[in-house]
C-alpha cells in the first residue's frame, strides 16, 4: 500500500478511505458482524483511513433516531483490541440532527461540544483524529465554531478539523478566520466528486489546493451509476428508482464508459475510482462496501494507473466544467 499525506499534513493515510455509511441501516444495510469483518479485512489490505458520521445508521423505527448506530458499530470493533484503534486514522462528522430539542444539531459551540462527547462515547475512544463539519452552518459565526474546535483540540479530544460539502468561499472564510486566531485551520474537505459530478473542479478543488487541504471524495461511483449500471442494472443501489432514472438520462455516456472499461479489461467501478484517485488534489476516494467481497474488489483501484489516452477518453465521455474558475467560463 502506497500511503499519501493528507494535504499539507505529515499525516499519512491510505489512497482509499473506508466509508462506513452502510453499517447499521435497515436492510439491505450491513450488520454489525459484517461491518466488523469488513473493517478487519480493510486493515489486512493496509487501509488505515476510516470515515463515519454521528448521523449514520438511522432506522425507520423512532427509538434509533439520533443514537449513532454506525459509530456504535465502530466502537464495539475498536473495543476488541488488537491495536485496532491505534492503526486507524478515524474521521467522523458533526452537524446533523441528533434529536428534537434545541441545540441538537448544526454548529453552535454547545452542539459541537456535546456531539463530540457523544461520538467519543459511541466510538469507545478518547480522541477523534479528523473531526469534520458535515455541512456549512450559515447561521453560526466562524469565531464561534473555531472557539469550540480550538477547545476540543486543546483538550486532546480532536486532532484535526475538516469540512464537508463546503463551497470554495466557505473554505476561504473558515481558513482566514482560523489564521486570525493562529489555528491550523481546515486540513481537508470531503466533497461529492466523480466522473459524472465534476462541479467542484471550478472552485472547491482549487481552494483546497491553495490552502494545502486534502480532498476526500464521496460517492466516487455516483451511487452505483459508474459501477456497471448497464451491465448489472439490478445490483445494490443500481436497482433503485433514482439510479434507473439516471441510467435512462445518461445512457449514451454510460454505454461509452462501460465499453471503454471492457476494452481496458477493467471493471467500471475500478476505472471510476482510479480516475478520482488520479487527481493530485485528491487524497482518497471513499469506498462504501456492503460486503467483504466488495471491499476486495475495490482494492484493484489502489494500484491501477490510467494512462493519458484513457484520461482523455474519459474527459470526452464525461466532460468537466472546463477547468478551474474563472478560466472555465471566461478568459
C-alpha distance from residue 25 to each of 123, 225, 242, 271 (Å):
17, 21, 19, 28
Rounded to whole angstroms, the Cα distance separating 105 from 133 reads: 11
Residue 311: the pLDDT is 98
CATH superfamily of the 4-223+267-307 domain: NADP-dependent oxidoreductase domain (3.20.20.100)
Residue 60: the pLDDT is 57
Question: DSSP of 54-120, one letter per residue?
Answer: TTTT--SSGGGTTS-HHHHHHHHHHTT-TTHHHH-EEEEEE-S---SSTTSSSS-HHHHHHHHHHHH
Q: Cell digits for 150?
A: 480550538
Q: Is the pLDDT of residue 134 over 80?
A: yes
Q: Is the pLDDT of residue 117 over 70?
A: yes
Q: Which of 25-34, 58-67, 93-102, 267-276 has the largest mean confidence?
A: 267-276
pLDDT digits (tens, 9 = 90+) for 52-81: 999 999 765 545 567 899 999 999 999 999
Domain spans in the chain, listed from the N-terminal domain onward: 4-223+267-307
**Mean pLDDT of the region 36-49:** 98
> 13, 283 in Cβ contact below 8 A?
yes
**Mean pLDDT of the region 165-178:** 98
CA atoms within 13 A on the CB side of 234: 0
Mean pLDDT check: name the lowest of 51-60, 187-196, 249-258. Answer: 51-60
% the chain with pLDDT above 70: 95
Q: Which run of H or of E encompasses 218?
A: strand 214-218
**Mean pLDDT of the region 175-188:** 98
Rounded to whole angstroms, the Cα distance separating 2 from 311 reads: 21
Residue 324: the pLDDT is 97
Residue 56 annotated in active site: yes
**Mean pLDDT of the region 182-203:** 98
To the nearest whole number, what is the mean pLDDT of the chain? 95
**Mean pLDDT of the region 94-108:** 95
Q: Cell digits for 133?
A: 463539519
**Mean pLDDT of the region 153-167:** 98
pLDDT digits (tens, 9 = 90+) for 211-221: 999 999 999 99
Residue 69: the pLDDT is 94
CA atoms within 13 A on the CB side of 2: 8
pLDDT tier at 25, thresholds 50, 70, 90: confident
3-state secondary structure 139-198: CCCHHHHHHHHHHHHHCCCEEEEEEECCCHHHHHHHHHHHHHCCCCCEEEEEEECECCEC
Sign of CA dihedral 40, 51, 268, 273: negative
Residue 207: the pLDDT is 98
Rounded to whole angstroms, the Cα distance separating 200 from 311 reads: 18
- With CA atoms as reference, report the closest residue to 52 among 100, 103, 88: 88
- With CA atoms as reference, report the closest residue to 195 among 242, 261, 134: 261
Residue 238: the pLDDT is 47
Residue 63: the pLDDT is 57
Q: Which of 56, 131, 160, 211 is catalytic?
A: 56
Amino acid at each position: 500500500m502506497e500511503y499519501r499525506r493528507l494535504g499539507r499534513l505529515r499525516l499519512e493515510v491510505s489512497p482509499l478511505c473506508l466509508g462506513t455509511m452502510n453499517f447499521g441501516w435497515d436492510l439491505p444495510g450491513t450488520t454489525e458482524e459484517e461491518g466488523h469483518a469488513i473493517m478487519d479485512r480493510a486493515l489486512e489490505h493496509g487501509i488505515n483511513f476510516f470515515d463515519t458520521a454521528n448521523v449514520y445508521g438511522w432506522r425507520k423505527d423512532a427509538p434509533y433516531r439520533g443514537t449513532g448506530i454506525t459509530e456504535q458499530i465502530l466502537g464495539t470493533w475498536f473495543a476488541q483490541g488488537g491495536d485496532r484503534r491505534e492503526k486507524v486514522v478515524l474521521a467522523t462528522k458533526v452537524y446533523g440532527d441528533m434529536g428534537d430539542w434545541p441545540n441538537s444539531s448544526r454548529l453552535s459551540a454547545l452542539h459541537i461540544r456535546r456531539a463530540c462527547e457523544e461520538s467519543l462515547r459511541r466510538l469507545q475512544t478518547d480522541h477523534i483524529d479528523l473531526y469534520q463539519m458535515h455541512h456549512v452552518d450559515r447561521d453560526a459565526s466562524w469565531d464561534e465554531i473555531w472557539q469550540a474546535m480550538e477547545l476540543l483540540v486543546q483538550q486532546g479530544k480532536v486532532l484535526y478539523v475538516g469540512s464537508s460539502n463546503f463551497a470554495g468561499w466557505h473554505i476561504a472564510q473558515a481558513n482566514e478566520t482560523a489564521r486570525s486566531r493562529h489555528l491550523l485551520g481546515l486540513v481537508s474537505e470531503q466533497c461529492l466528486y466523480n466522473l459524472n459530478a465534476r462541479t467542484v473542479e471550478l472552485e472547491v478543488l482549487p481552494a483546497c489546493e491553495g490552502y494545502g487541504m486534502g480532498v476526500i471524495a464521496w460517492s466516487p461511483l455516483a451511487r452505483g451509476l459508474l459501477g456497471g449500471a448497464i451491465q448489472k442494472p439490478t445490483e445494490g443501489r443500481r436497482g433503485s428508482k433514482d439510479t434507473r432514472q439516471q441510467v435512462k438520462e445518461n445512457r449514451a455516456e454510460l454505454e461509452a464508459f462501460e465499453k471503454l472499461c471492457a476494452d481496458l479489461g477493467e471493471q467500471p467501478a475500478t476505472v471510476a475510482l482510479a480516475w478520482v484517485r488520479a487527481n493530485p488534489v485528491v487524497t482518497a476516494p471513499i469506498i462504501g462496501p456492503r460486503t467483504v467481497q466488495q471491499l476486495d474488489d475495490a482494492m484493484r483501484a489502489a494500484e491501477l494507473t490510467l494512462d493519458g489516452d484513457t484520461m482523455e477518453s474519459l474527459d470526452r465521455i464525461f466532460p468537466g466544467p472546463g477547468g478551474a474558475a474563472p478560466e472555465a467560463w471566461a478568459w
